[in-house]
């Protein structure tokens, strides 16, 4: 029996179609990784292609590792020469070899988000940018978006003419890139952008890789941005044997720069492309798939596909309604405990998914009360913890002395009596002589302005130089232990009064374990390789398997995962989809949110519960929201409890609570605030409490949503500022039954329609 006999007909087509461009539209749970791995095996075993000529790219280390293991299991000998890697790892590998052609040393440092913020904070200070009106994170976001679109600082500056805000960002962008180059560092966006720049500038390098990679495969193609698209296009330009696999219905990373047009327009770029649809799902029951199909069918910007399975109908979708978010959390924790108690599921079989990180708090509290073990995915990354960043900064300084950020982080850790004034004078000397901060430290005797403080700098420099000399005969485990002992880092923690000192020491022990594990799986491990691997770790790569804990995570974090039992919490308009999405009046934004709902639904293998709370506290205000439109898009025959229709009278608006299969209500309590049905134009959160756009006490007693409030202090033609969209001009102001509806033409975001109470526009 052939290994290909286990594939369905469409999967076989994806495996055997090897020449020319191929687009595989792989629905959720349709076995795309299986197709990719068997395709690689077919190229090697049946067509005689050398593994050296094959590249397979995906987005996370976890996905790349799983694919590599499967390829090794199927192919065996020869699989080690195949490039199965992530976009960023691919680019790092290329730049480690040819980065010097762009003016970098090949041992450049990779800056994480904390490093970026530190650099930008210094730049804003030097450029005298008011970070109250133009925040560092907004500047970094604009720079990241520019790099995703392959826009250089010079091009960004040209495009910013006439726009003061963009001009300030352009200045910061130029200074930011100069600071990174000086420190021999790149951020994550640079890795892709610089590789594209290298390929376009150096035909010899590009030609070498084009000649090598005759067959290229890209997983999760719907998540690619413009820079990644261009990288792949350049590599595939010689042979056109490009196979991309993805699902436009799972394109949910627009906020990270993902461009859904890459997958939707693939046939426009490659008119000769073969399109193959994988629609048989091997993960979920038919009821779950029917719910997902029904929801996503409401999107217009998609390629049609319908998921199906031979696993049977399975359980109905559970819809559960609560008076407030506390009851929602209480139910979810209680239901997980009940399933565990009855042997229906283990803790590790369950996941709770939500739209925003803020929703995790109440759930955590209830899980603690119930004694249920859990993990929150997307919390503080292990490598972002202070003690870990400190020790990594020592390793970075030993590996790359040009990384000013790393050197400055540890120069006074532990305390060496080196003050900010001394550091400033050393930096001035470095700037004057156009050298790195560390090289300036080594020349401390020549810096007259620091006086006796120079004596405090020498021991630090001598220590780093000693570590560097030992690196020639030290292993990485020996090096990190020497650093910890020489600096007295753990001793200081043990002697401190910090409540979390114990946890921090445990984290350091875990770092040592990580280093030992790294050395065990690498034949000739180097410090640079270790730092590179650490820099490329993503949150999703840290999701532990087999630890039997309930996972709490955002819907974005859940992509690529699956669980027997899934709870979707906060299924309310204003939460999911978000209020800003609703009032934006942008169909593309709603479609992105709907794709997110589709992803959430298809994480469930057997059991799916949709939870709705009539009241929820957001930013200190209690809001009443309608049931999410995505819940309403699920056919009623697929659910075990109907979505209640909004009522208009106090008699009709009696407390609503769901019924368990036994028919007993779940802790039904009186509804504190009652709200009538709203028109589409009025579809926004209600707020309990006084003020504009709130429900008055009189309105509550009568069972109607009477609203009190006054006209805003701006009018048509006025200039206003919004916390998200920036500056714009009011073009329309229309009084409504509950609030003023304001239309603003924003300078960057375009036209937006919103309600005054929630827009919180500031006239200037």
Q: What is the pLDDT of residues 522-553, one digit of tens each?
A: 888 899 889 988 888 755 555 555 579 999 99
Q: Looking at 19-33, 192-206, 498-512, which range is the least confident one?
A: 498-512
Whether the per-residue pLDDT at 657 is higher than 90: the answer is no
**What is the distance between the alpha carbons of residues 239 and 205, in angstroms, rounded to a whole number?**
16
By the 10 Å C-beta count (0-12 exposed, 13-18 middle, 19+ buried), 321 is classed as buried
Bridge partner residues of 215 (DSSP): 54
Which of 226, 250, 487, 554 is flagged as catalytic? 250
Which of 148, 220, 223, 727 is flagged as catalytic? 220
With the CA atoms of 647, 648, 649 and 653 taken in that order, what torsion angle do they form, in degrees rounded to the nearest 10? 30
8 Å CB contact between 741 and 681: yes
**Mean pLDDT along residues 676-705:** 33
Look up 220 and say whether it is catalytic: yes
More confident residue, 205 or 72: 205
Whether the per-residue pLDDT at 359 is higher than 80: the answer is yes
472 pLDDT tier (thresholds 50, 70, 90): confident
Which of 18, 33, 167, 344 is flagged as catalytic? 33
**What is the distance between the alpha carbons of residues 188 and 185, in angstroms, rounded to a whole number?**
10
8 Å CB contact between 58 and 64: yes
Look up 33 and say whether it is catalytic: yes
Query: Considering the chain, what percentage of its residues have pLDDT values greater than 70?
Result: 89
**Mean pLDDT along residues 413-439:** 90
pLDDT at position 540: 54
Whether the per-residue pLDDT at 466 is higher than 90: the answer is yes
pLDDT at position 619: 61
More confident residue, 126 or 535: 126
pLDDT at position 658: 35
Give per-residue pLDDT as tens, 230-283. Answer: 999 999 999 999 999 999 999 999 988 899 999 999 999 999 999 999 999 999
More confident residue, 750 or 623: 623
* 454-470 helix and 386-399 helix, angle to the nearest 10 degrees: 80
Of the candidates 506, 477, 482, which has an alpha carbon nearest to the alpha carbon of residue 387? 506
Bridge partner residues of 353 (DSSP): 553, 568
The sign of the CA dihedral 321, 324, 330, 333 is: positive
Which of 136, 219, 328, 593 is flagged as catalytic? 219
**What is the distance between the alpha carbons of residues 62 and 66, in angstroms, rounded to a whole number?**
6
1 pLDDT tier (thresholds 50, 70, 90): confident
394 pLDDT tier (thresholds 50, 70, 90): very high
660 pLDDT tier (thresholds 50, 70, 90): very low
Which residues lie below 8 Å from residue 76, measured CB to CB, with a gap of 6+? none
Which of 11, 32, 112, 399 is flagged as catalytic? 32
Whether the per-residue pLDDT at 626 is higher than 50: the answer is yes
Which of 409, 425, 603, 605 is flagged as catalytic? 603
**What is the distance between the alpha carbons of residues 88 and 195, in angstroms, rounded to a whole number?**
10
8 Å CB contact between 185 and 110: yes
């Amino acid at each position: 029996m052939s290994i290909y006999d286990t594939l369905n007909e469409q999967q076989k087509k994806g495996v055997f179609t090897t020449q020319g461009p191929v687009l595989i539209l792989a629905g959720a749970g349709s076995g795309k990784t299986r197709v990719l791995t068997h395709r690689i095996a077919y190229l090697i075993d049946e067509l005689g292609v050398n593994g050296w000529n094959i590249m397979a790219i995906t987005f996370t280390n976890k996905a790349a590792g799983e694919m590599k293991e499967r390829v090794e299991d199927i192919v065996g000998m020869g699989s080690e020469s195949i490039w199965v890697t992530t976009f960023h790892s691919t680019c790092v590998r290329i730049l480690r070899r040819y980065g010097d052609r762009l003016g970098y040393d090949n041992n450049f440092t990779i800056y994480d988000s904390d490093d970026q913020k530190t650099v930008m904070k210094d730049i804003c200070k030097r450029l005298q940018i008011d970070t109250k009106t133009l925040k560092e994170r907004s500047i970094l976001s604009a720079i990241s978006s520019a790099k995703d679109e392959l826009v250089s600082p010079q091009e960004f500056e040209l495009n910013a003419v006439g726009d003061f805000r963009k001009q300030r960002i352009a200045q910061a962008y130029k200074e930011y890139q100069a600071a990174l180059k000086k420190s021999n560092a790149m951020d994550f966006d640079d890795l892709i952008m610089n590789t594209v720049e290298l390929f376009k500038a150096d035909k010899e390098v590009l030609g070498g890789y084009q000649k090598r990679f005759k067959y290229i495969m890209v997983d999760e193609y719907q998540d690619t941005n413009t820079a990644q698209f261009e990288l792949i296009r350049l590599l595939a330009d010689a042979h056109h044997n490009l196979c991309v696999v993805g699902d436009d219905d799972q394109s949910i990373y627009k906020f990270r720069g993902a461009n859904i047009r890459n997958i939707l327009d693939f046939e426009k770029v490659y008119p000769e492309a073969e399109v193959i649809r994988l629609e048989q799902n091997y993960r979920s029951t038919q009821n779950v798939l029917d719910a997902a199909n029904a929801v996503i069918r409401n999107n217009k910007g998609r390629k049609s596909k319908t998921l199906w399975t031979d696993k049977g109908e399975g359980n109905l979708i559970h819809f559960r309604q609560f008076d407030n978010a506390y009851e929602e959390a209480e139910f979810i924790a209680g239901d997980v405990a009940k399933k565990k108690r009855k042997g229906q599921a283990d803790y590790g079989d369950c996941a709770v998914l939500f739209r925003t990180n803020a929703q995790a708090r109440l759930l955590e509290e209830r899980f603690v009360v119930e004694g249920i073990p859990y993990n929150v995915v997307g919390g503080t990354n292990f490598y972002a913890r202070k003690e870990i960043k400190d020790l990594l900064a020592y390793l970075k300084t030993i590996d790359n002395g040009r990384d000013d950020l790393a050197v400055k982080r540890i120069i006074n850790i532990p305390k060496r009596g080196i003050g900010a004034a001394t550091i400033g004078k050393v930096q001035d000397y470095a700037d004057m002589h156009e050298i790195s901060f560390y090289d300036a430290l080594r020349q401390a005797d020549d810096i007259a302005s620091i006086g006796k403080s120079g004596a405090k700098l020498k021991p630090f420099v001598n220590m780093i130089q000693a570590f560097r000399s030992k690196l020639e005969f030290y292993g990485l485990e020996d090096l990190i232990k020497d650093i910890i002992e020489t600096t007295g880092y753990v001793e200081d923690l043990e002697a401190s009064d910090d409540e979390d000192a114990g946890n921090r020491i445990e984290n350091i022990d875990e770092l040592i374990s990580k280093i030992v594990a790294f050395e065990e799986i690498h034949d000739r491990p180097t410090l640079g390789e270790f730092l590179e691997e650490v820099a490329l770790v993503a949150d999703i790569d840290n999701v532990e398997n087999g630890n039997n804990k309930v996972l709490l995570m955002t819907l974005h974090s859940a992509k690529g995962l699956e669980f027997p039992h899934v709870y979707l919490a906060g299924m309310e308009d204003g939460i999911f989809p978000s209020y800003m999405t609703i009032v934006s009046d942008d169909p593309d934004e709603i479609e992105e949110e709907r794709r997110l709902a589709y992803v959430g639904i298809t994480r469930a293998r057997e059991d799916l519960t949709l939870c709705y709370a009539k009241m929820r506290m957001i930013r200190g205000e209690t809001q009443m929201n309608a049931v999410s439109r995505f819940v309403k898009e699920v056919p009623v025959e697929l659910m075990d409890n109907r979505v209640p229709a909004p009522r208009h009278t106090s008699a009709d608006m009696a407390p609503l609570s769901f019924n368990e299969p036994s028919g007993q209500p779940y802790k039904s309590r009186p509804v504190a605030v009652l709200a009538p049905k709203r028109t589409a134009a009025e579809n926004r959160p209600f707020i309990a409490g006084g003020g504009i756009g709130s429900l008055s006490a009189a309105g509550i007693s009568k069972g109607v949503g009477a609203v009190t409030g006054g006209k805003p202090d701006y009018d048509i033609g006025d200039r206003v500022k919004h916390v998200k969209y920036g500056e714009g001009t009011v073009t329309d102001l229309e009084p409504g039954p509950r609030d003023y509806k304001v239309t603003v033409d924003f300078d960057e975001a375009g036209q937006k329609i919103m309600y005054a109470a929630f827009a919180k526009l500031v006239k200037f």
